[in-house]
Amino acid sequence: MDVLEALTGSGLAASAGLNAYIPLLTMGLLARYTDLMQLPAGWQWLGDGWVIAILALLLAVEVVADKVPVVDHVNDMVQTFVRPTAGGLAFGAGSSAETVTVSDPGQFFSSNQWVPIAIGVVIALAVHGVKSAARPVINATTAGFGAPVASTAEDATSVLVSVLAIVLPVLVLVFLLGFVLVVPWTLRRRRERKRERQAARAAGFRV
């Protein structure tokens, strides 16, 4: 795997951390209808018409659920398992890593072909963790009105990063750098919110 392939896989996995279905759907559509992407032999099912239709339906459900306060929190809990899985698939396919997952599952774990998928899972889980940590802060500080705005921005970012990861993978570095800078802010805001809630409960007990 060369540097550009690794950046493509990383970008797609990070995109999956924001929205599980956008990078997979992007790869499927580009592979099926354009020459911008040639899926490896073990991943050509992503370009199947039925797979694309199912991904589009799941994406529609995700887009709506992620924009409703409280529902978005439940959705994030469910997506804790879905997004890392999608990230693993996205990295495995996007980095052009050949895999025998389907043809020979036993050999999958006895070779190094599982490594790209594992990397994708970790990247997507990290991005999902930051997204899930930031959303309650956004909802609390905006009385819930920020949820659809934040969700729309996340979806747009996921689309942009997915496309750039395939067309101009070097620009993925910009997103990854921005993600690294956002992490400390998110953790700091969560600690502040926790202290505010504790102070409010303490004040309530004193009344």
- This prediction has a pTM of 0.74
Which of 126, 114, 142, 116 minimizes the C-alpha distance to 175? 126
DSSP summary character for residue 111: S
pLDDT of 107 strictly over 50: no
Domain total in the chain: 1
**Amino acid identity of 108?**
F
3 state SS of 47 = helix
Q: 145 lies in which domain range?
A: 3-206
pLDDT at 90: 87
Burial 182-198, CB ≥16 within 10 A → b, else e:
eeeebeebeeeeeeeee
Q: Helices 3-18 and 71-94: crossing angle, nearest 10°?
A: 160
List the structure tokens of 10.
Answer: 């990383």
Band the pLDDT of 166: cuts 50, 70, 90: confident
Q: How distant, in Å, are the alpha carbons of 114, 194, 204 from that of 58?
A: 26, 33, 43
**pLDDT score, position 98:** 37
**78 HSE (CA, 13 A, CB side):** 13
Q: Which pLDDT score is estimated for 48?
A: 92
Q: CA 134, CA 142: separation in Å to the nearest integer?
A: 12
What value does the mean pLDDT take over residues 141-161? 83
